[in-house]
Amino acid sequence: MDPLYLRSASTSLVISFDSGEAEVIHWGADLGAALPDLAILGAPVPHSAVDAAVPAGLLPQASSSWRGRAALRGHRIADGVPGYDFSVRLRVAEVTAAAGNAAVIVQTDADAGIRVSSSLTLHDGGLLELRHTVTNTGTSPYQLDELATVLPAAPDAVELLDLTGRWCRERHPQRRAIEQGTWVRTGRHGRTGHDSSLLFAAGTAGFGNRHGKIWATHLAWSGNHEQFADSVADGWTMIGGSELLGPAEVILAPGGSYTTPALFAAYSDRGLDGISEAFYAWFRNRPHHVLPSAAAAGQRAGAGKPRPVVLNTWEAVYFDHNLTTLIELADSAAELGVERFVLDDGWFRGRRDDHAGLGDWYVDEALWPSGLTPLIDAVTSRGMEFGLWVEPEMVNLDSDVVRAHPEWIVGPSVQSYKDGGRLPLEWRHQHIIDLVNPDAWQYIYDRVDALLRENDISYLKWDQNRDLLEHGHAGRASVHEQTLAAYRLFDALKAAHPGVEIESCSSGGARVDLGILERTDRIWASDCNDALERQSIQRWTGLVVPPELVGGHVGPTTSHTTARTHDLSFRAITALFGHFGMEWDVRQVEGVQREELKRFIGIYKEHRGLIHSGRMVRADLADHSLMLHGVVAGPAGKAAGGSGEPGSTAALFTLVSTRTSAAEQPGRIAIPGLHADADYLVEAVFPVPGDADYARTFTQVQPPAWLESGATASGRFLAEVGLPMPVLNPEHALLLQVTTA
């Protein structure tokens, strides 16, 4: 059988079938139009080992003497006795190539009664999508314990980068050498988790933002999961992930099937920026993306509306919902240029704090005797969309819905807590509603659907504020089914209300993955609006998720979550490289600071088309107190700035000082990512003299020569020589606009 050979965007995948199973020969750099005879890759057989070469299978298995993690773990239950067919011998039965760099590989073990179908697509931007479906073709039940999706990294992948974090400090990097053994990141939160690794990246020594080879994977799943790098003694390193199934969560009846979450995988020989390009291309080529590519947008009417400036009311008023105050806030927001006004927690029955009301999704008649209509009319009449906060997956014990249906609360017991069953510990005074229960699911759907039908709501901020611990339905573990039920809820509401955007918020950034992002239009990266923390949070979130999908807000001068105080320019520039908004009582912003904020909102509106469509560029700087990152127009390999018309914006960059430097001054800093042979004008556009915090931005007697009127140079000169940068005070930033000269 001929090998399967997929190629796209400087990436290729080769799978051989000569051993009888699907063996991944190569995943990485493009190998050209033709392959040699793959027989030349026959491996030696060492002493004291199995008497055959061990393949790196698409589904590694012990029957081929694979001594790392097997892809499929499970056993058959025959006549009530477990443990049979514990080791399968899958062999290729069928390979079907499809249009668009796609294929399906079917492997079976007739004796064990197991069939696995593997679906692979190498997308146009080079992102590989892989998922497996296992089917029980036997005559008795089969308990599935794990089905993993894995791919081999090349032998020169010697370093591993993954991400970790906590509430208000999500997605921070950690590195380690790849050595023999298995590095496993386990998420038992019942949701993706604040500490979840958005990406597993194996790469060559010292790989960085713009250099080195990298093989990276992401598991598109919003429930319990594992991501891992498995390095075995015969020299292979496999990276991948799987859903982490609870005890007996998936038992396949005869004829039953289970499909894994998709594993998305990207290869780059240009560092982490190349990985981002592959993911961004996939997002932007989806027809349902909020800002799809021109080709994809043609498939959906109304697609491509610019991402509106947002005002969220949480850090402005918290639970203090008062119509007069909120209309004043709407007046102030509209005057600044806000385009979407979002009413946060506190609008529904019994909700005066976070102890009560969750689950009672009715407008509180005591607070809103005429419903939300007066506020919605005030918002929309001022030219803004109206958005609303909801948390449909959670309930408080102090709620009408729980008093009526105590059996709808998730827990480890068969009985409800009213009948003596045990509840999980509370988390922020709340519990989880059992969406696996069809009556509970229908109630939540009906209430949210009614809110959307009865009110002019364009946007839902959909929150999920706790882990799913001791999570069970009818006494059995049910995170798997709860996750699928939540997906069905999103899908059904989207189908009924296709014009409504939904944000995935999960106590900030605890549900950020491509599973939830298939159903939502933006994520809230963190509950922390501290600009210093956000620099790291947004940088590493943006490794996978493009900026148009990452909410970034200007918070109050002193941060609600860290008590740090920052100037407006630092907070605004940080929020710029995302879906920009504010979470602040903007009624209090006056005088020169208000004019500065208004001007910056204009900068966002002027450049959001570039920010939300361009290539993300992150410089590798030797001075770790500084960061230089930005967005460059035009696809890789073409002239930045699109048409190259003189004066057109080719790029936006920001120089950020996160702390004091060991050096007295930063020296010349290269500006990468521009077209080498084009000429550009680099100008500092924010803050500038006259802005409220300009004088506090720098600590220098004299600025660099170019700062006042700009610098003209070629892209090659800017990348190789750079420009002398000003001496920024710690926790300050400077926005640079690059135009074609």
Strand partners, 501: 459
Per DSSP bridges, beta strands 668-669 and 169-177 are unpaired
CA 107 distance to own-chain centroid: 32
Euclidean distance between CA atoms 374 and 369, whole angstroms: 10
Residues 6+ apart with CB under 8 A from 684: 707, 710, 734, 735, 736
Question: H-helix or E-strand containing 97?
Answer: strand 91-98
Tokens of 712: 């003209």
Set 85, 364, 463, 693: catalytic member: 463
- Based on the residue annotation, tell me whether 51 is a catalytic residue of this protein: no
Say if residues 403 and 416 touch (Cβ distance below 8 Å): no
Say if residues 446 and 518 touch (Cβ distance below 8 Å): no
Say if residues 117 and 206 touch (Cβ distance below 8 Å): no
Strands laid side by side in the 626-632 sheet = 615-618, 626-632, 649-657, 732-740, 679-686, 711-714
Strand partners, 219: 263
Set 527, 567, 691, 693: catalytic member: 527
- Based on the residue annotation, tell me whether 527 is a catalytic residue of this protein: yes
CB crowding 512-522: b at 16 or more within 10 Å, else e: bbbbbbebbbb
Question: H-helix or E-strand containing 5?
Answer: strand 4-8
Tokens 């600071």, residue located: 593
Q: E-strand spans in 638-731?
A: 649-657, 668-669, 679-686, 711-714, 723-724
Euclidean distance between CA atoms 20 and 657, whole angstroms: 56
Euclidean distance between CA atoms 670 and 719, whole angstroms: 5
**Residue of 319, 277, 324 lying closest to 635 (CA atoms):** 277
Q: What is the DSSP letter of 20?
A: S
3-state SS track over 707-726: CCCCEEEEHHHHHHCCEECC
Give the catalytic positions in this structure.
463, 527
